[in-house]
Structure 1
Amino acid sequence: MKMKTALLSASAIALLTGPVFAQELTVVSWGGALQEAQTKAFMKPYAETTGTKIVQDTWSGELAKLRAMVDSGNVVWDAVDVDPQTGAIACEQGLLEPIGSEEVFQALDLVEGALLDCAVGTSTYATILAFKKDAFADGPKSLVDIFDTARFPGKRSFRKSPVDTLEAALLADGVAPTEIYSVLSTPEGVDRAFAKLDTIKDDIVWWEAGAQPAQLLMSGEVAMALAWNGRIADVNANENADLGIAWSNQIRGFDMWTIPVGAKNGDAARDFILTTLQPATNAEISKYIAYGPTVVAAADSIDAETLENLPSAPQNSEGALAQDGAFWAKNGDALNAKFSAWIAR
């Protein structure tokens, strides 16, 4: 369900929070096309409006790095972009300040799943199946086609993580999207997912950074890959890659802002985050990357042609699965260990 509370106006936010500007704010994201889009849509306008110097850093979700900062009391990051599972795990481990309990965030009209206890979504993306159009006479139509080596031969690439990989395996094995996490919560379900992965293990090339799937596809090293849709849209637009996207059975997630425990500019980070959740500003992200907004009203500011290429478009949403960050917070350590052991075999 969508949150039913009314969207706060900018003036209402100002009354609740007051203007809180820092001389310098360190904002951390995932690099690449996403961070470039966030810079244009969010960071540059905020810096120009407030006079705040925004320093940027990148990461790949390495919680050990964040944990070391928090444990040492030397937190140099103020606002950090996470995916749902990383946010849920970091919150569970006490590395992030509460966000969901703040009245001002609770009052935002956000799409389902965009508000967690320690994180608030600023854009929605999808893990999709990307493929070389010239590799197949009749290309794949669904994410689960990555398991069909008979119809679609060749190497295929997955993220070197159980996240998305295990969900994709169960989807390909016939589990309905609504049942994925209940099945994956059982030992039998986990074994079923790895058994499905066993059927194509010899054909898998693993990737660890978001730019790699497009590079692997463009070089011809793989014929298809599970990838973040924004990365594929970016190389198609800017490098004439002409890669195809199969949207059906997409695994949908969020880019979510968080504030580390002990952040030196936590109040200013909240102010920055709130500006990215005003409808007109939230809609800006879709101008620069094929990610959708999280504020319901923001969709009204996006033109129809752009909206059609976003993960949230109705025609792209058949069989979509929403990532369950809470599941990964509870089961991530055990499944990561099992996944690493499986890869090593």
Structure 2
Amino acid sequence: MTISKHTTTIAAVLVSLLAGTPTHVYAEDKITIAEWGGASQAADRKAFFEPFTKNTGIAVVDDVWQGDMATITTQVQTKSYKWSLVRGETALVKRGCDDGTLEKFDPSIVGTAEKFLPGGWSPCGIAYSTFSTNIAYNADKYKNGPKPESVADFFDLKKFPGKRGVRRNHVYMMELALLADGVPAKDIYKVLQTPEGMDRVFKKWDTIKDQIVWWESGSQPPQLLADGEVAMSTAWGNRIVAAQKDGKNLQIVWDGAGLDYDWMMMPKGSPDKDKAMKYIKYILEPQHAAVISSVAPFGPVLKDAIPLLKPADIADLPTNPKNGKNAFAFDANFYAENDAELTTRLANWLQK
């Protein structure tokens, strides 16, 4: 006789009840976290997901998204929740908080702004790691000559020939163009607020437009560089460090690094709120928060975790002072206010 899985489950419940012990449906002891995929998600899995599950018995199922806030909004509006928590950038947290898409966290549980690095606290999100967006290059392409060292070199096709990989998104494109055009890092967003500033951005990109290879997923730049399809590319710094550890001859240009935080945010009304908050509390324990830097080049945002970092883990962090030449912090307010206009402007420019 064949015993169905359903029958077996019922039998197990009955045995448990007869024995006078509580029944746990372990399949429900889980949360789903959507992240960017690739090396960054692998780092979170090792630093947080697996230890959290071992500590609490709550499994973490990880999924991938590409930063489309409309996906979260749809889940909230339809009350059809796919994700318990989502990893996002500062601008996404700002936007989701302003439009009511994200759950607000209880400060008595997560703490207040003074516990975090500047800008690392929001009512609707917890910043837990620092990351950078950088220019990177294939060192094999420039073995016998000068090496790229500045943002201006990214736009210099004569001195540094070869295709350029660029994320198909206005974030970091805007800043790079102005830095290369001589605007000081401290003045980037002041200039971007003007029509003349925006014109300067696209005029600068016009100079290399026919040499651009567009990318959308964070795993693409290291592969494009390693395969020789591009000579330089914008990239998330941690992806390049991971590729270096895998033996790829890639290098980071720290000039003009864009600094940001990775956040955990929760779709408003999530039925997994209680379990998800256990995860949030776990990653906010200083000894847990510090683990990320030993796994990948991400720095903790929680101040109490910073003294726990090992010296060897600090070298490749974007917050290391020696890596901060001409760096800037992305302005979440600027992008929250101008995202729609910038998206349209970029789309129109691409079609020309």
Same fold (TM over 0.5): yes
C-alpha distance in 1 between matches for 2:106 and 2:330: 18
Does residue 221 of structure 2 align to residue 213 of structure 1? yes
Does residue 122 of structure 2 align to residue 116 of structure 1? yes
C-alpha distance in 2 between matches for 1:260 and 1:226: 30
C-alpha distance in 2 between matches for 1:283 and 1:204: 38
Q: Which protein shows a greater Rg?
A: 2
**8 A Cα contact 2:257 2:327, kept in partner:** yes
Which residue matches 1:330? 337
Which residue matches 2:23? none
Which residue matches 2:272? 265
Q: Which moved more, 1:220-229 or 1:62-71?
A: 62-71
| Residue 107 (structure 1) shift | 5.8
Q: Which moved more, 1:102-111 or 1:319-328?
A: 102-111
**8 A Cα contact 1:128 1:143, kept in partner:** no
Q: Which moved more, 1:95-104 or 1:245-254?
A: 95-104
C-alpha distance in 1 between matches for 2:304 and 2:269: 33
Which whole-Å deviations, capped at 9, do the CAs of 1:227-284 have from their partners, x for residues lacking one?
001111111112x102011112100111101011121111322221122122221111
Structure 2 residue aligned with 1:138, among 143, 146, 164?
146
Q: How does 1:239-254 map to 2 (within 5 A)?
A: 240-254=247-261
Which whole-Å deviations, capped at 9, do the CAs of 1:67-102 have from their partners, x for residues lacking one?
211111112211110011222222222211123866
> Gaps (5+ residues) in structure 1?
1-21
C-alpha distance in 1 between matches for 2:269 and 2:80: 8
Give the 3-state SS of the residue equivalent to 2:60 in structure 1. Answer: strand
CA RMSD of aligned residues (A): 1.7
Give the 3-state SS of the residue equivalent to 2:111 in structure 1. Answer: helix
Letter in 1 for 2:156: D
Letter in 2 for 1:321: F
**8 A Cα contact 1:100 1:115, kept in partner:** no
C-alpha distance in 2 between matches for 1:207 and 1:262: 33
Which residue matches 1:34? 40
**8 A Cα contact 2:294 2:310, kept in partner:** no
Letter in 2 for 1:186: T
**8 A Cα contact 1:121 1:256, kept in partner:** yes
C-alpha distance in 2 between matches for 1:147 and 1:98: 42
Which residue matches 1:5? none
Structure 2 residue aligned with 1:153, among 158, 161, 166?
161
Which whole-Å deviations, capped at 9, do the CAs of 1:104-156 have from their partners, x for residues lacking one?
33166211121123222111110111101121222111344211222211111
**8 A Cα contact 2:254 2:323, kept in partner:** yes
Which residue matches 1:69? 75
Does residue 343 of structure 2 align to residue 343 of structure 1? no
Q: How many equivalent residue pairs?
A: 324
Q: How does 1:1-345 map to 2 (within 5 A)?
A: 23-99=29-105, 104-106=110-112, 109-136=115-142, 137-238=145-246, 240-345=247-352
**8 A Cα contact 2:138 2:232, kept in partner:** yes
**8 A Cα contact 2:75 2:82, kept in partner:** yes
Give the 3-state SS of the residue equivalent to 2:122 in structure 1. Answer: coil
Give the 3 Å change call, closer, same or farther, for CA 102–249 of structure 1 in structure 2: farther
C-alpha distance in 1 between matches for 2:118 and 2:152: 24
> Gaps (5+ residues) in structure 2?
1-27
Identity of aligned residues (%): 37
Which whole-Å deviations, capped at 9, do the CAs of 1:279-323 have from their partners, x for residues lacking one?
221111112211111112322222222201111111001111101
Give the 3-state SS of the residue equivalent to 1:250 in structure 2. Answer: strand
Give the 3 Å change call, closer, same or farther, for CA 175–259 of structure 1 in structure 2: same
Letter in 1 for 2:253: A
Which residue matches 2:24? none
| Residue 219 (structure 1) shift | 0.8
C-alpha distance in 1 between matches for 2:151 and 2:107: 36
